[in-house]
Every structure is written in C-alpha cells, then in structure tokens.
Amino acid sequence: MNYRLLANSGLKVSQICLGTMTWGNQNSQSEAFEQLGYALDQGINFIDTAELYAIPPEASTYGATETIIGNWLKQTGKRNEIILASKVCGPTAWCPHIRRGKAKLDRENILSAVEGSLKRLQTDYLDLYQVHWPERETNCFGKLGYEESSVGRATPIDETLMALGELVQQGKVRHIGISNETPWGVMQYLNSAREQQLPRILSIQNPYSLLNRSFEIGLAEISYREKVGLLAYSPLGFGTLSGKYLDRQRPKKGRITLFPHYQRYLTEQGIRATEAYVALAREHGLDSAQMALSFVHSRPFVTSTIIGATTMEQLHCNIASVNIDLPGEVIQAIHDIHQTFPNPCP
C-alpha cells in the first residue's frame, strides 16, 4: 500500500480509503467486520463514513454504518490504527428523518451532528470531519450549470467554519474537509480560514472517475496548488466501470439492480463510454475496474481513492489496483476516449 500526506496535517493516509455506505443495508455487520479486517491487513488505514449512511438514506438505517464501525472499534480496540472520517449533512428536505428535516450547517446542527456521530462510533474524536454537501443551492450531485438560488438564507460559510473550528479547539475533531463543493465554495472556505484565523480545510470529497472528470475543469488546480487533496468518490461510477451492467445485465445483488432509480451512470453516452473503456482494458489484458481505479490513483491532485465493495471478491480486486501502473499508451487511449465522450456522467 502507498501512503500520501493529508495536506499539512502530518497524517499519512492510504492511497485507498475504505468507503462504508453499504454497511447496514446491502452489507451486514459481520460482512462489514470482514471487510475492515481484510482492508487493514492490506495496509488501508483510512475509513470514511457519514451520519447519513447507510445508502440509500432512510430513517430505518440512519446512522447504521457509524454504529457498525463503532461496534468494530469496541470489539477490536483498533481506534489508534485508523484515520477515521465522517460527515455532517447539509439541508435535508429529501431526508426528513435527519434533525426533523431542518438540518443546516450552523453551530447548533453541527454540534448536534458530531455528538451523534461520536456516540455511534464509540470514539471521542474524529480525525477528519467533513461537510457532506453545501447548504446553498448549487450544481452538485450531477446537476449541471448554475441557476440563481431560490432557497432562503443559507448559513454563511464563515459561520459553518467557526462551528467546525470550535470542534477542533475542543479536540473532538482533528482536521476538517468539505464534500460536493464547487471552486467558489473551496475558495470561500480558504479565504475565511485565513481572514478569520480559523482551521483550514485539508480535503475535498467529490466524484471523480473515467465517466466524470469534471473535477479537472475548475477544481484540480485549486486542489493541487492550495493543498486541498481530492478524496475521490464513485471512482467506478456505482460499479458501472467494471462492465457488469453492460448489455442490460443486472447482477442479482448489484447496487443499480437493487436501487434502479440510481441512473446517474447509465446515460446513453455513459454506456457508450463504458463500453469503450471496458474494451480498452480487455485489449491490454487488464481488469476494467482496476484500470479505472489505477487511473484515479495516478492523478496528482488525488490524495486517496474511496472504494466501496459489497463482496469480498470486489474488495480484493479494488485494493489490488494499487499494484497496477498503467502504461503510457493506455493513459493516452483513456484521454482519447475522454475526448470522444467528455464527462458523460457528471
């Protein structure tokens, strides 16, 4: 396993971060424990979760993933062996079960959220605490373009950052990050930290894959120059880049099979691009999922790639991607396909 510094924190995180959002829904606690044990044996020290999980978000599974991780920490006593990250929800009109549907990124909500996470995780601190998505209306979660917000007053970023800073001062959070943000949002956090002498964000967790390289357009340079490393999520586009959904296949326990409303990576252009990437991998004797992950690992602005798996076979395959260095001709072919199908699944 390779390790990279999480900005200027002094923390060395594994090149692969173990994502957990299926635990408590698609995966049982015993399956999650097996994944955690294997991941640590392979050198993974970075675990990412969120108060929202399991996915898809439902009242019955809210906090279930954190609870499973907390039970594992209690059973194994390995809290000091991992770098643990979680997230606070933004406004949740589509999740009325979270803080009675009135979640915001103000002090009251953030302090309430972190106390809940710490209790479920059975720990007294988080290594990284992230804002899951902005409170303001903006183009995230696949939305293109920008329209003037019709939503009422959003909590100012200064106010959000002050609340996060309070948690750092209390020792409940060591470092902070953001997720599903835009270039404007990243710079607002950085400017606010400098002007108000508040903690600086160290990471941004946004989607990044062969099917969605939109991060490169406005965020990559900021990420690289400002040392706000990308924690790349959905690097396999909900598993589509493995090729398992091509030709209308729907494997029995596949996420898109179970939750067919997740269509973000099944656009017409997305399917055509996936076909091209899978064909490229086969041409060079590569596993298509490992090729897709290896490409993400290789980007200079990526600190860690967040993988998720519902089977141990998938986990073995995904983690083994760290041992693959793509030859120049494959990288060039990937760029060529991207020129033909640019960002088909933003």
Which residues span the domain enclosing 55?
3-205
Q: Is 125 a catalytic residue?
A: no
CA distance 186 to 204: 8
| 196 in any annotated domain | yes
Average pLDDT along the chain: 95
Give the H/E segment covering residue 16. Answer: strand 16-19
Exposure of 137 by Cβ count < 10 A (0-12 exposed, 13-18 middle, 19+ buried)? middle
* Chain mean position to CA 268: 25
pLDDT of residue 182: 95
Find the DSSP H helices in the chain. Answer: 29-41, 64-76, 107-121, 157-170, 183-196, 215-218, 220-226, 255-258, 268-283, 288-297, 312-320, 328-340
pLDDT tens column, 133-181 = 999 888 777 777 777 765 567 899 999 999 999 999 999 999 999 999 9
- Token readout for 195 is 């002007």
Instruction: Output the domain CATH number for residue 67.
Output: 3.20.20.100
Whether residue 302 is contained in a domain is answered as no
Which residue do the tokens 């809290």 mark? 79
φ/ψ of residue 73, rounded to 5: -60, -40
> Per the omega criterion (within 30 degrees of 0), is the bond before 59 cis?
no
Q: Taking the complete model, does pTM exceed 0.75, yes or no?
A: yes
Residue 343 in contact with residue 318, Cβ under 8 Å? no
Burial 32-68, CB ≥16 within 10 A → b, else e: bbebbebbbebebbbbbbbbbbbbebeeebbbbbbbb
Can you tell me the distance from the alpha carbon of 180 to that of 140, in angstroms, rounded to the nearest whole number? Answer: 6
| Cis geometry, peptide bond prior to residue 327 (ω within 30 degrees of 0) | no
Q: What is the mean pLDDT of residues 295-309?
A: 97
Q: How big is the CA angle at 317 (ends 296 and 83), to the nearest 5 degrees?
A: 65
Domain for residue 131, yes or no? yes
pLDDT per residue as tens digits for the range 240-276: 999 999 998 999 888 889 898 888 999 999 999 999 9
Does any domain span residue 192?
A: yes
pLDDT of residue 151: 59
Tell which residue, 180, 172, 177, has the closest CA to residue 161. Answer: 177
CB 19 within 8 A of CB 306: yes
Question: 61 lies in a domain?
Answer: yes
pLDDT at 143: 75
Q: Which of 3, 38, 53, 125 is catalytic?
A: 53
Separation between Cα atoms, residue 104 and residue 206, nearest integer Å = 20
Is residue 28 domain-resident? yes
Report if residue 89 sits inside a domain: yes
Any domain includes 286 = no
CA distances from 123 to 77, 78, 194 (A): 11, 11, 30
Write down the pLDDT at residue 141.
Answer: 78
19-56 pLDDT, tens digit each: 999 999 999 999 999 999 999 999 999 999 999 999 99
Task: Give Rg (Cα) of the chain.
Answer: 19
The tally of domains found in the chain comes to 1
Query: What is the CA angle 213-218-220, rounded to 5?
Result: 65
**pLDDT at residue 239 is higher than 80:** yes
First to last CA, the chain: 29
